[in-house]
């Protein structure tokens, strides 16, 4: 196996700004996809395993953590926040999810290249701000996948994510 233990590349502020723009473009597409999965979710206490989050807790975590990541990146620091109890409706979860994106994505877009290359701490990991943009995207996709697996056991339908699904055929 190849040795991939090398230091991260030194990114200029201009390249970090291009990375930010690419992230926001991709994140806009992922936001719409995640929104479809959230909208299809049935809330309740069901979970596939006692150690798992319920569908409501997972949907709320997706919405709140998306807001938290964008806010933290825009402000240049990660401050832990309690997510609190999930709301009783998907509409309230979608409102948080949309408001977080609408409030914080423009602030991330406005970050200078110098701010994007600044090193900040994320629970002991110390990386440039722009690195956390990808981390936030992967985190959201990970939990969206979890929630998508809850949909059918709860009697729902799985929307298209990266192409069609058994419930929403590919339209090409």
pLDDT at 171: 81
8 A C-beta contact, residue 91 and residue 38: no
pLDDT tens-place string over residues 8-19: 678 899 999 999
Per-residue pLDDT, 84 = 94
**pLDDT in the model for residue 78:** 97
The pTM (predicted TM-score) of the whole model is 0.91
pLDDT for the residue 168 = 85
pLDDT for res 52: 95
Closest-CA residue to 137 (of 33, 38, 12): 33
d(CA 123, CA 132): 12
Q: What is the pLDDT of residue 6?
A: 64
pLDDT for the residue numbered 1 = 65
**What secondary structure letter does DSSP report for 115?**
H
In the chain, which residues have pLDDT < 50? none
User: What is the Cα–Cα distance from 172 to 163, expressed in whole angstroms?
Assistant: 8
User: What domains are defined for the chain?
Assistant: 13-151 (1.20.120.450)
């Amino acid at each position: 196996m190849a040795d991939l233990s090398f230091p991260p590349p030194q990114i200029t502020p201009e390249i970090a700004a291009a990375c930010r723009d690419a992230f926001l473009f991709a994140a806009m597409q992922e936001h719409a996809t995640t929104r479809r999965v959230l909208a299809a979710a049935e809330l309740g206490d069901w979970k596939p395993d006692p150690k798992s989050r319920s569908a409501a807790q997972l949907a709320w975590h997706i919405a709140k953590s998306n807001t938290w990541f964008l806010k933290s990146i825009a402000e240049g620091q990660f401050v832990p926040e309690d997510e609190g109890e999930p709301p009783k409706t998907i509409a309230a979860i979608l409102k948080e999810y949309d408001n977080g994106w609408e409030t914080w994505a423009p602030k991330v877009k406005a970050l200078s290249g110098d701010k994007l290359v600044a090193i900040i701490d994320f629970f002991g990991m110390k990386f440039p701000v722009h690195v956390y943009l990808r981390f936030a995207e992967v985190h959201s996709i990970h939990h969206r996948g979890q929630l998508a697996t809850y949909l059918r056991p709860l009697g729902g339908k799985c929307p298209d994510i990266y192409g069609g699904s058994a419930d929403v055929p590919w339209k090409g």
